[in-house]
Amino acid sequence: MPDLSSTFLNQTATYWAATGKVDNYGVPTHENPVEIEVNWNENKSLGGQKNGTQGIDASITSDVEIKVGSLLWLGEEDEWYGTGSANYDTELMIVQSVKWSSDCRGRDDIWVAQLKRCKDLPNV
């Protein structure tokens, strides 16, 4: 049976993992970007919900551990603004929540992350 990444994870995203630390100005810091294989699904978000929860703009599935507070962009690293041809207003997303599970036989780890658009582009 083919592995998860070859059958389901058919898109490339650039991932800046959250470090859990802040810089001298109190801004969260991130590791250097890496490319990961994902399944990326855009959602139609109308913002916050009546119960106080935030709307979600996209969700991803990956076989790489995803951390809350990390940043993701749908595209290859060499296409990112500043290193490639992407526009400055490119859709950078921040990870709001993550769920982990494994397949029914316990062979593949799977992370599903809920993403929200960044209103201000972090310095990445």
In a domain, 66, yes or no: yes
In a domain, 123, yes or no: no
**Domain of 96, in residue numbers:** 4-117
In a domain, 69, yes or no: yes
The whole-number pLDDT of residue 62 equals 95
Domain count, the chain: 1
In a domain, 19, yes or no: yes
Please name every residue paired with 81 in a beta bridge, in sequence order, or none if there are none: none
In a domain, 36, yes or no: yes
What's the CATH number where 78 sits? 2.40.10
In a domain, 122, yes or no: no
The whole-number pLDDT of residue 52 equals 47
What's the per-residue H, E or C state across the chain?
Answer: CCCHHHHCCCEEEEEECEEEEECCCCCEEECCCEEEEEEEEECCCCCCCCCCCCCCCEEEEECCCCCCCCEEEECCHHHCCCCCCCCCCCCCEEEEEEEEEECCCCCCEEEEEEEEECCCCCCC
Q: Please report, in tens digits, the pLDDT of each residue of the chain (124 residues total).
A: 456 555 789 999 999 999 999 999 998 999 999 999 999 998 865 555 554 455 789 999 999 999 999 999 999 988 886 655 555 556 789 999 999 988 777 778 899 999 998 876 566 6
**Could you tell me the pTM of the whole model?**
0.80
